[in-house]
Amino acid sequence: MIVSPSSAFKVVDVKVICVEALDPKLCSNVLNSKSGGAKDVDLVTLAQYTIDVARDNITNTINLIKSFIIKSGNDPEANAHYETCLMHFDDENETCVLSDIDYTQELLKKGRYGGVNIGATAVRIDVGDCIIGVTPDDPPYPDKSNIPQYADVILHVVKIILIISNYLTQK
Ligand SMILES: *[C@@H]1O[C@H](CO)[C@@H](O)[C@H](O)[C@H]1NC(C)=O
Ligand SMILES: *[C@@H]1O[C@H](CO)[C@@H](O)[C@H](O)[C@H]1NC(C)=O
């Protein structure tokens, strides 16, 4: 795929991007906090900012899951759930949320914007595998921790990456 330099320097107003977001306020907070409210930040830079935020949120969530693995030591069902969740987030041998976001980052650097969309979608799927389970007959664990809220933040932030990647792949 040939990437025209013009697409890399395309500028779309943060307001226009965030109208499509799941949480427009969170979206403009993420994009404006990094761009300082500048109007002329190109899409690749905004995507980079958003991937950085998503990665921070993923790292925070992994640390939170690890703390719940320790706290749930006396509750085998909870403990097994958090161990499984951790595998979906951070596993050195399998694709997981952390490897997905790093892959997304790598593809952005290479200018492979269609791949950025695929990587961000993989993040969402792997987050869902932790929160709602892998198969429909596997009922979601009634998690009372704040892990689902952290996961929600990741999904919202990654949705912004998807919106930006759609603009980047438009001809
Ligand atoms: C997500 O990351 C942003 C930027 O680093 C931070 O301000 C926010 O508190 C994080 N939220 C969670 C739930 O990790
Ligand atoms: C990853 O694979 C290596 C080599 O097969 C193995 O030694 C290691 O235990 C695996 N790590 C995990 C977390 O499964």
Residue 7's pLDDT is 54
Number of C-alpha atoms within 13 angstroms, CB side, residue 147? 26
What distance in angstroms lies between residue 61's CA and the mean position of ligand 1's atoms? 10
Dump pLDDT digits (tens) for 99-134.
Answer: 999 999 999 999 999 999 999 999 999 999 999 888
Can you tell me the distance from the alpha carbon of 51 to that of 157, in angstroms, rounded to the nearest whole number? Answer: 8
Dump pLDDT digits (tens) for 138-165.
Answer: 788 999 999 999 999 999 999 999 999 9
pLDDT band at 1 (very low <50, low <70, confident <90, very high): very low
What distance in angstroms lies between residue 62's CA and the mean position of ligand 1's atoms? 13
The answer to whether residue 1 is domain-embedded is no
Kindly give, in sequence order, each residue whose CB lies less than 8 Å from that of residue 154, ignoring residues fewer than 6 positions away: 54, 57, 58, 61, 97, 123, 127
Residue nearest to atom 8 of ligand 2 (CA): 93
Dump pLDDT digits (tens) for 31-60.
Answer: 998 777 777 889 999 999 999 999 999 999
Any idea which ligand is nearest the CA of 155? 1
Count CB atoms within 10 A of the CB of residue 45: 18
The answer to whether residue 98 is domain-embedded is yes
Could you tell me where the beta strands, DSSP code E, fall in the chain?
Answer: none
Domain count, the chain: 1
CB of 93 sitting under 6 A from ligand 2: yes
The answer to whether residue 54 is domain-embedded is yes
The answer to whether residue 13 is domain-embedded is no
Atom of ligand 1 nearest to the CA of 57: 14
User: Per DSSP, what are the bridge partners of residue 11?
Assistant: 42
Please report, for the domain that includes residue 76, its CATH number: 1.20.140.40
The answer to whether residue 30 is domain-embedded is no
Residue 135's pLDDT is 81
| Domain containing residue 114 | 43-169
The answer to whether residue 154 is domain-embedded is yes
Atom of ligand 1 nearest to the CA of 52: 5
What distance in angstroms lies between residue 95's CA and the mean position of ligand 2's atoms? 13
Cα dihedral across residues 58, 62, 68, 69: positive or negative: positive
Cβ < 6 A, ligand 1 pocket: 53, 56-57, 60, 150, 153
User: Per DSSP, what are the bridge partners of residue 42?
Assistant: 11
Can you tell me the distance from the alpha carbon of 26 to that of 153, in angstroms, rounded to the nearest whole number? Answer: 9
The answer to whether residue 147 is domain-embedded is yes
Can you tell me the distance from the alpha carbon of 132 to that of 141, in angstroms, rounded to the nearest whole number? Answer: 7
What distance in angstroms lies between residue 56's CA and the mean position of ligand 1's atoms? 6
The answer to whether residue 32 is domain-embedded is no
